[in-house]
Structure 1
Amino acid sequence: MSSQRLYQIVKTFLNFGLDEMVPADMLPWYAKVGRHSLFWLRNKHKDKTPEQRFRLAIESLGPVFIKFGQMLSTRRDLLPPELANELALLQDKVTPFDGEQARQLIINAMGIDVFEKHFKDFDLIPLASASIAQVHTATLLTTDKNENIVIKVLRPNISKTILADIKVMSLFAGVVARWLPDGKRLRPKEVVEEYRKTILDELDLNREAANAIQLKRNFEQGSEYDKALYVPEIHSAYSFENVLVMERIYGIGVGEVETLNQLGVNMKLLAERGVEVFFTQVFRDSFFHADMHPGNVFVDATSPEDPTWIAIDCGIVGTLNREDKRYLAENFVAFFNRDYRKVAQLHVDSGWVPANTSVDEFEFAIRTVCEPIFNKPLSEISFGQVLVNLFNTARRFNMEVQPQLVLLQKTLLYIEGLGRQLYPQLDLWQTAKPFLENWVKEQMGVKAVLSKIKANLPFWNEKLPEMPDLIYDYLKTSRENQHQQTQLMQTLLANQSKNNHRIIYSIVAAAAIIAGAILLSH
């Protein structure tokens, strides 16, 4: 960790008055002495709210902190609404690095011969630039056709910068955990560790390529939901750890609402399809894009009355196992049916909260938090906020943090925000409920049983010829075990009888000695 970088971060925090967010009586004497020793670093933004100062400080510290702030903005289960809303304003606008340097990094990865043979029209001016990587356009030469593509390349030495800044974040997380009044509840150390894992995964573009290929394959199964999402083709033959080559897409940014309206896009259908895409990923495929912020989602408005979604940047994905999916779906259905008893019982049954949790107390806590929400019309209820409130309540009952559920919550907040930005009247529950109820029925009905039997047939087909031998071995082993247990019991009883006799003889001998001693004394 560079001492110069540490000083720059401390200076920024103090210039924005972030030290004032920690009550003075919570600070130890040495922290107060340290603060007074930096007397020339004063709060220069007293006219702004603490939340605004926090966002501005994050922005001034550069892309790694900006990305961290963006991740924090999705953790509404931890942050006050005012701070989460302020952090949501963070923009990942980063000055691009030199295009010639980017070209050289690409050549170093794939080789000069491959680059010159298969690529032309490489644009030195990046199409987009973000904190970790930037994107350049080019043309891919194939035997069939020339294809417009984009090449994503990681920033040089970005991993060193990230690791150095994460060390500083960990240092400050320890301070916050120890001295901030809400430090333990906010769990800053765990949040920084979660960010470290997430951002390090994004530094391997081979991982992103594999995720995108999987997501694309999931939406090519021929079902009615598949046409709602398009994932660009990945050219894995030319992709490496720091370079990713993919099809260039031409879509409209999801935030360009005015443009979409001018084109006459069916906003209601588009918003509903966004919800369907999310639940299809989660409950059908168990594999979902977990970073669907406006910069990674576009709209294909070629047919305005039949708009579809385009997703890019699959660096962060989430997965759910069968049990998590079932409990989650049943939780959602029970929640919106106001069956809080079932919600509480499901949390206990799933192991998300300890088995000794009082279901009655848990049910009452959920009811207290959520009943006020359902006094609103369903179209005004935030599905994501319901999930946040549910997790917050469960955490009071020692619910362990479930990483897959944190990603799910974050993605749902993104999807809901996008949907209501496009169509404010979106009734997310009305769109999601039929999907969830059908999924639960499919998992528990006769069809589900037959599907499971069919899926296990190859296994039983392999094991069936072995069944007679296995049964014979089991019965033989049981008989032998029973015989051994009988012998062991007889041995134990014999030993016990011997011990009993020894004890009796010892008592009689001791009594005789005592009696003899008494007679001699007289």
Structure 2
Amino acid sequence: MLPENPLAGDRPAGLSRTIPRQSRLAMATRGAFVVASSAAYLLPAAAGAAVLRPLRGRTAAARFFYRRLVRHLQRLGPAPVKFGQIMGTRRDLLPPLLCDELGRLHDRVRPMSGRQVRRALREAYGPDVTRHFTEVEATARASGSIAGVYRAVRPDGREVALKLQRPGIRRRMVLDLALIHGAAALAEKLPPGRGVPLAELTGFVCAAVLGQLDFAGERANLAELRRNFAESDNVWIPATLPELCRPNCLAMEFIPDLVARPVAEIDPARRPRLAARTVSAVYQMLFLDGFVHCDLHPGNVYFKGPRVVVLDAGFSIRLDPTVRRQFADFFLGLALGRGRQCGEVVVDSAVRVAPDADVEGFIGRVAELVKRNTGVPAKEFQLTRFGTELFTLQRDFGLYAASEFVFPLLSLLVIEGTVRDLDPDIDFQAAARPMLLRAAAETAHLAPQRRAG
């Protein structure tokens, strides 16, 4: 049985879900299949990596194994794929090469078959689908591990986008998430995992994945994002159509010609503006609104004319006011070169500190890291590199930040590649200062809570 998640009651809005309990027989049967298929697929992959290592080096061997591991996740189904997508952002806990390979899961998901689409439509709207739509395109406009997006036409001629959940996905995903969480809770008790908050981390990730099955919750997330950006002409969040929404179908306004284009196809004169608007939107979510879209990979961010289009808000969280203050303090310290302040914020946000952790040593190393990255030319500062070094320090010193603190930060790291492609010279630190100063003023009443000892 899945152990109770002790943090479930403390999660931000949108992630306060627990995974329904599953029968012992169902978990044992699924677990036996996962173990057997993983052994059959991954043991030969490990042997191949061992042969490859002396011939082509450690990096090539690791990449060989990680690619086969990612392929196996795809074979296991949507829950492992979604879990892999999210874990691919955790460079503090996983090797960077593995994170690179897990990142491929965002855009390599097979669309539903025509039969599955028809079944999903029947489950959503009953046998008389034509009463609601005169046309539903058979080809998906976008395809993910949980759902596909299809263009449809209403009887009055208006176009809509239907996000259809894959039929039968819920039961399998809940079962797999229960297995993942249970395995993490067990691993945390074994010597290699002692001191690492694996249950806390996987509980957060599993709640995030389970939340993406909740289309009513995603509809509420989209509505909140639209309210937050209502006065912005630079960000487009699609409006939902409540009268057409169903538990397994999210109906939204259709945004025409919304296709992923290489940066090379965007007018060079527009690229810096789009980059600045993208960064500004993320900073607004992080520092001002406290409601953050945490899944800003390229499949969820598009550019249409002068605006940034943000889709798929299933994985969004509301930051606790104290966490939002910590975010502002950390980034303000980074922008102003206050390294010790940054180190103290990370310590304050830690969900677990090893008993023998050298806290002062950690703060000193963070201060050194900030000093090396303050005042450098914008082109040379990379958030991903900075974040990876910071996460490595946390792992080395035995300090683990709470997922509520880390995942919103990773939303910015995930978007960095897209932004850099648009404008290699963008100054992330300078762009943050105006919102950071405003956020610091708005949250000044929240006194920092220093950790005892």
TM-score range, shorter chain: 0.7 to 0.9
Matched position secondary structure for 1:88: helix
Contact 2:81 2:105 in 1 (8 A): yes
* Residues 19, 77 of structure 1: alpha-carbon distance in 2 compared, 3 angstrom cutoff: farther
Match of 1:471 in 2: none
Matched position secondary structure for 1:50: helix
Contact 1:344 1:363 in 2 (8 A): yes
> Which among 109, 112, 119 is matched to residue 104 of structure 1?
119
Compute the displacement of 1:245 (Å): 0.9
Match of 1:152 in 2: 163
Matched position secondary structure for 1:16: helix
Match of 1:69 in 2: 84
Q: Give TM-score scaled by structure 1 length.
A: 0.69
Question: Structure 1: which 5+ runs fail to align?
Answer: 22-41, 302-306, 449-522
Matched position secondary structure for 2:154: strand
> Which among 61, 68, 84 is matched to residue 56 of structure 1?
68
CA distance in 2, matches of 1:353, 1:187: 7
CA distance in 2, matches of 1:61, 1:388: 24
Contact 2:358 2:397 in 1 (8 A): no
Q: Structure 1: which amino acid aligns with 2:36? A: Y
Match of 2:228 in 1: 218
Compute the displacement of 1:163 (Å): 3.6
* Residues 376, 79 of structure 1: alpha-carbon distance in 2 compared, 3 angstrom cutoff: farther
Matched position secondary structure for 1:136: strand
* Residues 138, 78 of structure 1: alpha-carbon distance in 2 compared, 3 angstrom cutoff: same
Corresponding position: 1:329 with 2:328: yes
Match of 1:260 in 2: 266
* Residues 272, 8 of structure 1: alpha-carbon distance in 2 compared, 3 angstrom cutoff: same
Structure with larger Rg: 1
Alignment of 1:35-184 (within 5 A): 48-62=60-74, 63-64=77-78, 65-113=80-128, 115-142=129-156, 146-166=157-177, 169=180, 173=184, 183-184=193-194
Match of 2:249 in 1: 243
Which deviates further from its counterpart, 268-277 or 433-442?
A: 433-442
Contact 1:323 1:350 in 2 (8 A): no
CA distance in 1, matches of 2:191, 2:351: 27
Contact 1:109 1:242 in 2 (8 A): yes
Compute the displacement of 1:267 (Å): 0.7
Q: Which has the higher contact order (CA 8 A, sep 6+)?
A: 2
Contact 1:18 1:53 in 2 (8 A): no
Contact 2:53 2:61 in 1 (8 A): no
* Residues 173, 359 of structure 1: alpha-carbon distance in 2 compared, 3 angstrom cutoff: closer
* Residues 285, 141 of structure 1: alpha-carbon distance in 2 compared, 3 angstrom cutoff: farther
Compute the displacement of 1:110 (Å): 2.9
Corresponding position: 1:14 with 2:18: no
* Residues 205, 267 of structure 1: alpha-carbon distance in 2 compared, 3 angstrom cutoff: same
Higher helix fraction (1 or 2): 1
> Which among 287, 290, 312 is matched to residue 283 of structure 1?
287
Q: How many residues align?
A: 409
Compute the displacement of 1:292 (Å): 0.8
Compute the displacement of 1:140 (Å): 2.1
* Residues 46, 108 of structure 1: alpha-carbon distance in 2 compared, 3 angstrom cutoff: farther
Contact 1:318 1:407 in 2 (8 A): no
Matched position secondary structure for 1:371: helix
Alignment of 1:436-451 (within 5 A): 436-444=436-444
Compute the displacement of 1:111 (Å): 3.3
Contact 1:353 1:397 in 2 (8 A): no
Contact 2:149 2:164 in 1 (8 A): yes
Contact 2:287 2:327 in 1 (8 A): no
Match of 2:314 in 1: 315
CA distance in 1, matches of 2:433, 2:309: 24
Compute the displacement of 1:106 (Å): 2.3
Match of 1:458 in 2: none
Compute the displacement of 1:10 (Å): 1.6
Compute the displacement of 1:9 (Å): 1.9
1:350-400, CA deviations, whole angstroms, 9 ceiling, x for partnerless residues? 78788x998754532322444344474243212354345445545666645
Corresponding position: 1:193 with 2:192: no
Match of 1:410 in 2: 410
Match of 2:3 in 1: none
CA distance in 2, matches of 1:444, 1:176: 40
* Residues 428, 369 of structure 1: alpha-carbon distance in 2 compared, 3 angstrom cutoff: closer
Match of 1:340 in 2: 339
CA distance in 1, matches of 2:403, 2:262: 32
Matched position secondary structure for 2:93: coil
CA distance in 2, matches of 1:344, 1:126: 46
Matched position secondary structure for 1:434: helix
Matched position secondary structure for 1:421: helix
RMSD value over aligned CA atoms? 3.5
* Residues 92, 173 of structure 1: alpha-carbon distance in 2 compared, 3 angstrom cutoff: farther
Question: Structure 2: which 5+ runs fail to align?
Answer: 1-28, 447-453
* Residues 238, 102 of structure 1: alpha-carbon distance in 2 compared, 3 angstrom cutoff: same
Matched position secondary structure for 1:150: strand
